[in-house]
Structure 1
Amino acid sequence: MMALPISFWEITQHMVHYTKPSLQKHIIRILWMVPIYALNAWLGLVFPYQSIYVDSLRECYEAYVIYNFMVYLLNYLNSEMTLEANLEMKPPVNHLFPFCCLSPWEMGHEFVHMCKHGILQYTVVRPVTTFFSFVCELAGVYGEGEFRGNVAFPYMIAINNFSQFIAMYCLVLFYRANKEELKPMQPIGKFLCIKAVVFFSFFQGVLINILVFTGVIQSAFGISDDRTIKGISNRLQDFLICIEMFLAAVAHHYSFSYKPYVNMLATQQSCCAAFLAMWDVSDVQRDIKEH
């Protein structure tokens, strides 16, 4: 009730003051993260035993948000300079742990290409693993919250975790290479907003599943029925997300503010055009096809 009005207000203001489409299109997509997570969590509270089905949209959208943040940074830098030419004049960026033994990527086109590649793989991997999780759940072999070798859950967690780590690693590497150029748009706060929502929800869910697997939740609530335990663990995750999305909405309001784009002298597109541009995913399709 508190998160949605804050998010919808910010989204509406960006659409009203749609003066920089190349940047604001991606900001609006990022801002939709909070309403989607909040509504998803509320539906999970109402229908706890069907939460895996409503979680599918949230899980796919988080990958989409990371991709949009990367493109937002690229468009910002390209509007100020020729990014690849500027990178070619810089010394190579050394890899971070645990990839510090790898040779640095060649600065310029290759560096941008590899960073985009690392982020786009998550945009593809996450929907694919979500689809397989959905199929496994229908087949009765998903085993949510069970860390056993004969169910799909631990394998899906490992694949998603590794894919997400690679995406975030490439994002950090890209920031290190363009730290000075990105300073005016204060990327740290924006990055932390996205990272906090994605990581907290993911690892929070993993932690709750570990507590279920080790019997902590059962002891705390004094229950033994598997179906009841699953319902409580799902409700606990969704309840925490509902609270966290209010905090995220406030953080997004300040980090992705519409105020820098208020310019009465600039040519503005209509709200309808801004709304339609937000749903046009041809740029995502083009990048995935390219990579």
Structure 2
Amino acid sequence: MPEAVQLPWWWQKLCVVSTVSSLVITVYAITMHFLNYRMPYEQRLVIRIQLIVPVFAVTSLAAVKSPHLSQVYLDPFKEVYEAFVIYTFFSLLVLVLGGERRIITELSLDNPPSTQVIPLLSRYMRKIDLSYPADFLMVKIGILQYVWFKPFYCIANLVCLFHDLPQLSFALVMMYNISVTWSLCNLAVFWRCLHNELRPFNPWGKFLCVKVVIFASYWQEMVMMLLGSKGILHGGNAGFVYQNGMLCVEMIGVALLHFFTFPWNEYSSKRMPHCGRMNYLYALRDCFGCRDLKWDFTQTIMGNNYYNCRNFDPTTESALVAKMNVDSKMRRINQGMRFENQGLGRYWVKYGSTDNVNERHFAIHEPWDDSIAGYRYIPCDTNYPVSSDLPADHRNSRSIHDLRRDINSRAPLV
């Protein structure tokens, strides 16, 4: 490897101060989210997005101090997490809209099909209709493929780094640009199809938080490569070191942007006085257990048997379904939907359904663990996963004593 380039001493000191400051801001924000963990499905995604700040801050500081070590061991982890954040942001958009089923069966029916973002592609590809499950799956896979591609890209980059393979390195850059462009195009298509429904949630600030780090890293790398090719930066890894030095300083602004865009006080007891919070250790397990990721990846990979019109039958009136886009209506008819009574009613035939054994295997979700619902309320159980932040005097009030007496007088649930 080429000899490591060192930043000036004042810049290194500034990198250390900036990294520590951004870590303090982000760790405080994430800790407060865990202490006010009242909406697990949403807050686990918010915390995973906020973790991009400490990941970039620590790896960038390590690159300034030890470029070779960081480039081999830490930089691939940073790049994989960057791709993962794009998927997490997409999951957050789906969640605030009410989930995939509501998007497909209700929200997308009111919006016309959208063309591709790139004009050249729109000439050769049909319009995207998110009310059709296969189109929704195609958009989802288009976003997720970048997450799946990034680990292989990082491993191949290390091979090129150690064995000096310029042709393979060039091919990897081309594949990387295609992958990230396709992912962002699909995210833009999703945004275009549902921009009216997303507007009340003000997603622009959240989108800026996700993309500012990725775009800053990408374009700074391009500028450093250009300066290196012109001979302005001397040394084999000078561009890598200077780029990470700038990222260290920029992380303070990114941490503040995340702090105000994803505020923890929206989930506080003042905003949600009648909502219990998940205890701290259980909140950690919920956020980092990643069972939701395993389920979602499995459903997406095996999604051809699950994302069909029969499983996502629109909830609206049959007359509205009959008047939808001709292409979307014909695809539903090909999967077994039939209209009757001049479009006022509809039914399904077995053609295209998921009645056979092989397809039913992929359509069934993992069983939900609801065993806790069978237990009685135990006032002093320290292992109970949910706590309330009600004042102490409220727990000793007459209404709470009457409630405890009424619960204890009943037989245990079976």
Deviation at 1:89, TM superposition (A): 3.1
Would you say the 8 A contact 2:111–2:194 is kept in 1? no
**Normalising by structure 2, what TM-score?**
0.63
Per-residue deviation, residues 70-98 of structure 1 (Å, max 9, x unmatched): 11111111169822122123211122224
Residue 104 of structure 1, aligned match among 113, 127, 137: 127
1:56 equivalent in structure 2: 76
Structure 1 vs Structure 2 CA RMSD? 1.8
Per-residue deviation, residues 131-188 of structure 1 (Å, max 9, x unmatched): 11123323x225xxxxxxx343322222222211111111111111111221222101
Indicate whether 1:232 and 2:238 are aligned: yes
- Distance in 1 of aligned mates of 2:68 and 2:220: 18
- Distance in 1 of aligned mates of 2:100 and 2:115: 25
Q: Aligned AA for 2:286?
A: A
2:91 equivalent in structure 1: 71
2:15 equivalent in structure 1: none
Would you say the 8 A contact 2:118–2:185 is kept in 1? no
2:12 equivalent in structure 1: none
What's the % identity of the aligned pairs?
Answer: 27
Written as runs of structure 1 = structure 2, the 5 A alignment for 1:111-260 is 111-138=135-162, 140-141=163-164, 150-218=166-234, 229-260=235-266
- Which has the higher Rg, Structure 1 or Structure 2? 2
- Distance in 2 of aligned mates of 1:165 and 1:52: 24
> Which protein, 1 or 2, shows the higher relative CO under an 8 Å CA cutoff with sep ≥ 6?
1
Count of residues paired in the alignment: 273
257-266 vs 123-132, greater mean Cα deviation: 257-266
Give 5+ residue unaligned stretches, structure 2.
1-19, 302-414
Q: Aligned AA for 1:26?
A: L
Indicate whether 1:266 and 2:275 are aligned: yes
Q: Aligned AA for 2:164?
A: V
- Distance in 2 of aligned mates of 1:155 and 1:7: 37
Corresponding residue SS for 1:114: helix
**Normalising by structure 1, what TM-score?**
0.88
Written as runs of structure 1 = structure 2, the 5 A alignment for 1:9-24 is 9-24=28-43
Query: Which aligned runs of 4 or more in structure 1 are off by greater than 6 angstroms?
Result: none
Give 5+ residue unaligned stretches, structure 1.
143-149, 219-228
Residue 111 of structure 2, aligned match among 54, 74, 90: 90
- Distance in 1 of aligned mates of 2:213 and 2:60: 13
1:43 equivalent in structure 2: 62
Residue 290 of structure 2, aligned match among 278, 281, 288: 281
